[in-house]
Amino acid sequence: MATLYLFRFDLSSIGRSDNRGCYLRRFRGQGQLEPSWALRRRNVVAVKSVKAFYGGAYGLNDNKTGLICTADELHYVSVPNSDWKLALWRYVPSLRAPSRNHPLLLLSGVGSNALGYDLSPESSFARYMSNQGYDTWILELRGLGLSTTEQIESETLEKQPLVNGSVYENSTSNIATQLRQWNKNLISIIDGAQQLGPFQPFVQGVTSALEEFQEQLDVYEKYDWDFDNYLEEDVPAAMEYIRNQSKPNDGKLLAIGHSMGGILLYAMISRCSFKKVNPQLASVVTLASSLDYRPSNSSLRLLLPLKDPTQNLNVPVFPIGPLLVIAHPLASRPPYILAWLKDQISVEDMLHPTLLEKLVLNGFGSVPAKVLLQLSSVFEEGGLHDRNGTFQYKNHLRQGNIPILALAGDRDLICPPEAVYETVKEIPRQLVSYKVLGKPGGPHYAHYDIVGSRLASSEVYPLVADFLNRHDMV
């Protein structure tokens, strides 16, 4: 059953939630808390009080972590045959914009929540598109951001049935034990680093962050899904829900995917072409995405050494969010021990340091090992394949009939232009438009700069909007 939460929220101050699930706001100069029940169609922010994963979005510094959504509406859609409820951030079309025929779905990269598409009022891909008249939705895949389960909402680990019929035991599982030991070792390393002068400015708060992550390790028992679960279950459930809400005349959606989000769209088109099924997409824009990374020197190859250890240790989840939190100070401040990590996200002067820090500290969660293992096949012969290794997603793009705009960043170390083009060349030429963003003398575009850099709103967003406008026909 889908759920819609609508609350008016004063962003000038952040309060806490009461026991009714209504978010409370504290007025400036006043000590009392007052519930905010007034509903409006526009300029509202939805708030759901649930326990957050560390490294996920928008945790408040109190005992009951609040997850804040900056969209106009927050919707939840249930995934069939699971207990996951996916968060859909909705941005209502501007009344001043032209009327559009199709709603727009935004899909984020691996481990990313909705924040990347709405980093600030000046760097909001979602808000820009809604101001162009599009009913815009950001999907948060299972395990990320505001997507939740009943177990997470309860904030307890009482005995509950799993999907496979087993139950949580009172004693800690082997997997949780492994993760706890890994976490303790990492804390020990951080504590030891404090004895080294150059590291001292960077370790404040890291230990407490890891301890918070450790408190939630038992939840990772449920992190048992792969890329195909996103493709076959999460995205279709979200698309059906959006169609029911927006009611496009032809039943189709427009879609934008960044990084893994674009990979999902390519895979959907390929799978539907093979099955001779209509994907119900009017047109698609992919940002720094490819099904085959082999021709490139992608930094994602750094993940390959994790493959065997992850399988051998049977560790179910890779904590991308917590690790980025730890690495960020070492990458962004003297002596810049991990400076190369910053370049993975944004080139110099393209993203304000405050926004970069906001993205790194709040924009990522933890990812199941199964997802990373399947995505690692982009470096194998034939590119990305399904969980069984029998279906190569790149092989059936030629049979598609969906107009596609594929954008690459000239300084993208994660998905270089060579990787993007390797997929583009498989698409019928009359259906695909390909462009590399960036100029020899600058500005340049790294992996995230395409989505939320200081120039994206003037150079990238209009380009995407023009393409979608041309294909927003019934």
pLDDT in tens, the chain (474 residues): 555 544 333 333 233 233 222 222 222 222 332 222 222 223 333 333 222 222 233 322 323 334 578 999 999 999 998 889 999 999 999 999 999 999 999 999 999 999 999 999 999 999 999 999 999 999 999 999 999 886 555 543 343 333 333 333 333 345 455 555 555 555 555 555 445 444 444 454 455 555 555 655 666 667 789 999 999 999 999 999 999 999 999 999 999 999 999 999 999 999 999 999 999 999 999 999 999 999 999 988 876 555 554 454 456 777 777 777 777 666 666 544 456 678 889 998 899 989 988 998 889 988 888 998 899 999 999 999 999 999 999 999 999 999 999 999 999 999 999 999 999 999 999 999 999 999 999 999 999 999 999 999 999 999 999 999 999 987
Query: Are the beta carbons of 230 and 139 closer than 8 angstroms?
Result: no
Q: Torsion angle of alpha carbons 422, 424, 426, 427, nearest 10°?
A: 180
Comparing C-alpha atoms, which of 97, 103, 94 is closest to residue 42? Answer: 94
pLDDT score at 381:
94
User: Crossing angle for the helix pair 320-332 and 353-362, nearest 10 degrees?
Assistant: 150
pLDDT at 472: 96
Please give the structure tokens belonging to residue 44.
């509202």
Q: pLDDT at position 212, please?
A: 56
SS in 3 state form for 69-128?
A: CCCCEEEEEECCCCCEEEEEEEECCCCCCCCCCCCEEEECCCCECHHHHCCECCECHHHH
d(CA 30, CA 11): 16
For the chain, state the CA radius of gyration.
Answer: 22
**H helices then E strands: how many in the chain?**
15, 16
CB 140 within 8 Å of CB 111: no
CA distances from 21 to 12, 37, 232, 460 (A): 20, 11, 32, 39
Please give the structure tokens belonging to residue 465.
């909007």
Residues 6+ apart with CB under 8 A from 394: 266, 270, 291, 292, 382, 383, 384, 423, 426
- Please tell me the pTM assigned to this model: 0.78
Residue 112's closest CA among 84, 140, 80?
140
Please give the Cα distance from 257 to 415 (Å, whole number). 13
**How many CB atoms lie under 10 A from the CB of residue 192?**
11
For the stretch 242-245, contacts whose Cβ atoms lie closer than 8 Å and that sit 24 or more positions apart, written own/partner, are 242/88, 242/103, 242/105, 242/135, 242/137, 243/103, 243/280, 245/75, 245/90, 245/103, 245/135
Residues 140 and 52 sit within 8 Å (Cβ to Cβ): no
